[in-house]
Structure 1
Amino acid sequence: MATTAFARQSASLVSRSNSTLATVLASKLSPSSLLSSLTDTHPTAHITDTHGTVCAVDPFKLLAPQLSRINIDVQALLGSNQPTLDTVAKYYLSPATEAKHLRPLIVLLISQATHGLSPTYNSFSVPAPSLDIDRSLSPDDILSDINPSSPTTTTPNRSSPTVLPAQRRLAEIAEMIHVASLLHDDVIDGAASRRKIPSAPARFGNKLAILAGDFVLARASSALARLGSLEVVELISSVIANLVEGELMQLQKKSQFNDQMEEYIEKTFLKTASLMAKTARSATILGGCGIRQGWPGGERVNEGVYEFGKHLGIAFQIIDDVLDYTAPAAVLGKPSGGADLKLGLATAPALYAADQFPELIELIARQFSSEGDVERAQDLVGRSDGIGLSISLAESHAAQALEAIRTCGIPESESRAGLERLTRMVIERIR
């Protein structure tokens, strides 16, 4: 599998980082201090533009007006005639959740960065196709028969002059799929909280959370069909399949310990990076890049943004797994302090720590199920190089994401600088 190939590549990149880590680890810093120190001392810590200056663009501020409407516009796509379902489906879209909207941000930045790049771009921005995304494909009386639950037409979304309506809708679809995955994940994990509020299962029960997640995916599928690109439909459908496959990998009994790092990277791609990578590629396809869009040269752009999303997503998740050991729950807005260990999950910090403390291999094999296993594993990870090596692995993937976006033919711009800065921000984040 392709994921196995880049798992091996990641392992190779980590081995090159040991000399950098040695100095930091010798200082006996706490895990939280180590995270700060490594992001200051690692060779890729300062993301620079082609002129050698540090990128100062804050991508979240750059697109703040567009991001501020994501929750509102997504909620408009989720209407249901069933009040309870409507409430649960929109639960993680309330202002109280303080959502980061990372996935829509990636889509919007890439859309702006590639605005007008394709020679066929103008044919994708004419009024008629732009309006089609808000109209039903089937007769209204069929879609709304017996139980009308949502308008068959939607309010035209608000696009900037440099983002096509279909690309804006894609950003909303990315957030919908992410929200659906959170609803389902919180049931599987038995999570008590999410984004600093009680989780949907804790508030409404498992059955309603599962049904709401299914409903959100159905609404996302309807919006997806109206984009008018079978290639994009295929890509995003595979994302939903990947989410299920990744979750199943996490639930199943693990293989031999020597294979677990490769499996961890593969699972990380399926559960996190696939959505970022494939929506990134979909954004450039909708902007006219690629053979089927009449611009064969655009395949280089499509491949580049896909690699960007893939490696950014892997870096993001690795840091998320580090924060489970180093950040308090009050900061993360969800359970931490070994929450993954309590679920029986061995993430990068524990897998690396097991190389230094073989005692961990047995704990990992029984999924930390015996009394005292979680506390013992936390202690061993804290005394090992596991946190530092995990950060180094994330840095390696962030560097690959940066290289991909700089070498795929996207010209320098404020939007591209925002994408470059994002590769740093996923490493520096505290939640």
Structure 2
Amino acid sequence: MTLAPEDHTQQIPQGSYYGQSAPPAPPAPPTPPLGEGSRPAPKRESRIGQTLGVALLAAVLASGGTYAATQLGDQGTPTATTTASTTNQNQGSSPTVVQGNATAPDWTAVSAAVTPSVVSIDVTTQQGSGAGSGVVFDKSGHILTNNHVVGDATGNGAITVTLNDGRTYAATIVGTDPSTDLAVIKLTNGPSDLTPITLGDSEALKVGDPAMAVGNPLGLSGTVTTGIVSALNRPVSTGTSSESPLGQQQASGDEVVTNAIQTSAAINPGNSGGALVNAKGELIGINSSIASLGQSSSGSQSGNIGIGFAIPVKEAKSIADQLIKSGKAEHAFLGVSTRDTVVSDGSAKRAGAQVVSVNGGTPAANAGIKNGDVVIAVDGQRIDSATALVAQIREMTAGDKTTLTVIRDGARQDVPVTLAVKPASSN
């Protein structure tokens, strides 16, 4: 089995039902060295972490969910802890849920709280049509979704957004950011009673936390699925941003690399751009891709196998705020090219990202990073590949101070670095 981009917004003929059959996703083209760190073509893997023999398909995933927090009774009364939940109404955004039993979340309450903040998105161009999901970001009608859901509508397409209650509105693109696979669209003459989703804290997540996805899988709007956070900081690569939602090729683009939240909540084509929420109903991630065993014998895209990926809300909010403000987003920049390697670390060996070049005048050069250094951690977070280094840097913002742990001449060193804004001309 091989690793390939996941086709979130499949190209389908006009009039056919989205999510049935679609052409196989094209293999990811060779990617030029990335400014944050890249790896050579011979050992290139998609951003799913490369340890599984699965194909990563860019699925149009939409997930939204409501969370429930625990409501505890008097400590002296054993029967006071029940499965009942309460809902706290937030000012100007979706309510949060207080769970009566932390070990058995009341997903009914979570769904009721979150689904009004999750929308279905339909895109139509001359090449075909596609469907995906999105979340209501603010009362002004901004919708946060994936670039691969709406990117093909730039300039020559039509976008239609359907709210949870069935109302439908046209929408226009505010800004897209292909390198993070995020985009913001805005409803045309949107209503005044929108319910923006409540933002959570992706930094506080732990493996094993409950999670819910809500969205428009296979055209089935308002679908919710539950699971857990099955891994964090998973470096996932789904090809290049030059692969458009409907399978068309654009002129150029960076490889889409995400330091993703991995979840077992079922995510399928059509869920892209939707919400992954915690048990309080707070947004923790934007669903963007799934692991798949590949194409079926009929050529249609395979569905969920229990491994899905979401862009952490911290990164999604930062990009969305920038897109709403200026229509574009800035990215953090380190200034090195790297490749996968294995290095001795004391009496053991470990995988890492070996620096093969350092660009002059960049944060890496200013910090004293040298050719041959092997990066094994960023702020204590393990780095075991060039893709993992790219994912960590892309999650940060320009101006952030970080510490790279490198192995140089057989010894560990901590190197403080202040990240800069990625130049527009940089790969």
Structure 2 length-normalised TM: 0.24
Structure 1 length-normalised TM: 0.24
Asked which structure has the greater RCO (Cα within 8 Å, sep 6+), the reply is 1
Q: Could you say which structure has the higher helix fraction?
A: 1
Q: Could you say which structure has the higher strand fraction?
A: 2
